Amino acid sequence: MTEKKEKYRVGVISDTHGMLRPEVPEILHGVDLILHAGDVGKMEILHELKKTAPVVAVQGNMDGRRAAHLKGTEIAEIGEIQIYMLHDLWLLDLEPATAGFHAVVSGHTHQPKMEEKNGVLYLNPGSAGPRRFDYPISLALLEVRGKRMKAEIIEIGA
């Protein structure tokens, strides 16, 4: 993002698997950027999300040819921070803190999780698509101020 602001709001979503729940645009309303951590399903999902805000997306293991234009990893710059994006955290092949990243966004597990390691925020928003097992349906909101970040997991109704 090139526009300089004091505060940025970022929507983080993953594993939509071709389903955009009606609550999602409402939850993401007013964000500056949307990060999609893969398993998009139908590319129409990205087109719909772009009606809310610019989107940075990575390819998931289930996306295949229909998402051939998406890369396996992306870097999102938001204000003063850099976020490394990939679908499956197990495929992370760099040390984020050493590489200068402030956060790592991933998906794949369908389970929301956020933790900090070595000064790096690891954020998995969970799955916003079809329910899997008894996992919650969720996405995340990330607030960025300077080099500070505050993440929140938002559960979406059944």
pLDDT above 60 for 2 = no
pTM for this prediction: 0.96
In whole angstroms, give the CA distance from residue 24 to residue 21.
Answer: 6
- Of the candidates 108, 100, 104, which has an alpha carbon nearest to the alpha carbon of residue 117? 104
User: pLDDT tens, 134-155?
Assistant: 999 999 999 999 999 999 999 9
Q: Which residue has the higher pLDDT, 158 or 18?
A: 18
Structural domains in the chain, CATH included, are: 8-94+102-156 (3.60.21.10)
What is the rounded average pLDDT of the residues 52-56? 98
What is the rounded average pLDDT of the residues 110-124? 97
User: Token digits for 43?
Assistant: 């590319």
Mean pLDDT in the chain?
Answer: 95
What is the rounded average pLDDT of the residues 28-37? 98
